[in-house]
């Protein structure tokens, strides 16, 4: 009887010990210790807000700094990064060495046909709908319109220009000279920015199909980042001066 009582007291003491909760620190990290379990203290996740324009992003960030950050739950300064058009706004590291992705922006852009051969008619529609209508675009459309409804194209490429002879088509037996490098402005970034002129390699196959091959990969992304940097320095001039925002572009 006495043995059972002692056993019961020991089990109750052990259960009480397991119920004890304490906060401890290991190598600078906070943990919750309860019984045999050790749980790291982490920052609760914040739901990322996604927007489609730089104007909306600027408004959201300013509102966040004015209202949300005052509670002290989000570490400052906010950090703005960008990879091409993908703009992200992070918090600074908090006491758990975690960053929160607060906002993300990506523009709504048409999908230009690049790096593949399509009929001349389809390429004309592509340039009319997915590119800014500049003088270069008009000249390009005028040039490839001569390839519309052809059955065979013979070409001689001397590295400077391409001489084409169109046969069995609307423009039968007509000679067409095209420049292999074309400068156009595809609509591929935010409406608040200037659309960037890009260089494309114009290719024509033996069936008269046309392709715009991208030849400035990397340069385009760098120019987008330069424009984003200028935009944010104007939009957040006071916040940058107060060190509430850091541009990591």
Q: Tell me how far apart the alpha carbons of residues 105 and 82 are, in angstroms, rounded to a whole number.
A: 9
The pTM for the full model equals 0.75
DSSP state letters, 121-171:
HHHHHHHHHHB---HHHHHHHHHHGGGTT-SEEEEEE-SS-EEEEEESSTT
Statement to judge: residues 96 and 128 lie in one domain: no
Residues 21 and 72 in one domain: no
pLDDT > 70: what percent of the chain?
70
pLDDT band, residue 80 (cuts 50/70/90): very high
The whole-angstrom separation of Cα 66 and Cα 190 is: 25
Max mean pLDDT among 168-177, 184-193, 197-206 falls in: 184-193
**3-state SS, residue 178:** strand
Residue 228 lies in a domain: yes
Asked if residue 127 has pLDDT above 50, the reply is yes
Q: Does one domain contain both 184 and 200? A: yes
pLDDT over 90 percentage in the chain: 48
pLDDT score, position 58: 97
Instruction: Please check whether residues 163 and 183 belong to one and the same domain.
Output: yes
pLDDT at 203 (0 to 100): 87
In a domain, 193, yes or no: yes
Same domain, 65 and 150: no
Name the residue with higher pLDDT: 172 or 85: 85
pLDDT(113) > 60: yes
Whether residue 113 lies inside any domain: the answer is no
The closest of 55, 59, 105 to 81, measured between CA atoms, is: 105
Any domain includes 99: yes
Residue 149: band (very low, low, confident or very high) from pLDDT cuts 50, 70, 90: low
SS (H, E, C) 27-89: CCEEEEEECCEEEECCCCCCCCEEECCHHHHHHHHHHHHHHHHHHCCCCCCEEEEEECCEEEE
pLDDT of the residue at 158: 52
Residues 218-232, mean pLDDT to the nearest whole number = 94
Segment 70-79 mean pLDDT:
82
Phi, psi of 234 (to 5 degrees): -80, -40
Shared domain check, 56 and 20 = no
Does the pLDDT value for residue 191 go beyond 80?
A: yes
Q: How far is CA 244 from CA 58, 81, 95, 103, 136, in A?
A: 13, 15, 18, 15, 43
Q: Give yes or no for a contact between 84 and 228, defined as CB atoms under 8 angstroms apart.
A: no
Question: Mean pLDDT across the stretch 72-77?
Answer: 81
Q: Is the per-residue pLDDT at 206 higher than 70?
A: yes
Same-domain check for residues 81 and 169: no
* Same structural domain, 194 and 139: yes
Confirm whether 92 is domain-assigned: yes
Check whether residue 134 and residue 90 sit in a common domain: no
Which residue range is the domain that position 10 belongs to? 2-40
Residue 59 has pLDDT above 60, yes or no: yes
**pLDDT confidence of residue 74:** 83
Number of domains in the chain: 3
**Do 212 and 227 belong together in one domain?**
no
Give the C-alpha separation, 124 to 141, whole Å: 6
- 210 and 162 inside one domain: yes
């Amino acid at each position: 009887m006495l043995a059972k009582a002692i056993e019961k007291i020991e089990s109750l003491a052990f259960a009480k010990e397991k119920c004890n909760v304490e906060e401890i620190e290991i190598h600078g990290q906070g943990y919750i210790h309860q019984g045999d379990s050790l749980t790291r203290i982490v920052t609760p996740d914040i739901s990322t807000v996604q927007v489609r324009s730089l104007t909306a992003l600027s408004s959201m960030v300013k509102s966040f700094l004015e209202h949300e950050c005052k509670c002290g739950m989000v570490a400052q300064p906010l950090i703005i990064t960008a990879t091409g058009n993908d703009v992200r706004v992070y918090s600074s590291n908090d006491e758990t060495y975690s960053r929160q992705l607060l906002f993300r922006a990506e523009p709504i852009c048409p999908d230009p046909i690049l790096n593949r051969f399509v009929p001349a008619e389809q390429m004309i529609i592509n340039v009319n709908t997915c590119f800014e209508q500049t003088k270069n675009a008009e000249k390009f459309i005028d040039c490839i319109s001569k390839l519309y409804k052809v059955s065979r194209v013979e070409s001689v490429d001397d590295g400077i220009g391409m001489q084409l002879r169109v046969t069995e088509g609307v423009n039968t037996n007509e000679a067409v000279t095209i420049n292999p490098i074309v400068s156009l402005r595809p609509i591929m970034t935010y409406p608040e920015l200037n659309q960037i002129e890009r260089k494309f390699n114009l290719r024509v196959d033996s069936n008269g199909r046309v392709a715009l091959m991208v030849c400035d990969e990397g340069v385009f992304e760098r120019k987008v980042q330069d424009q984003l940097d200028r935009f944010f320095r104007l939009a957040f001039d006071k916040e940058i001066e107060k060190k509430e925002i850091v541009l990591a572009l």
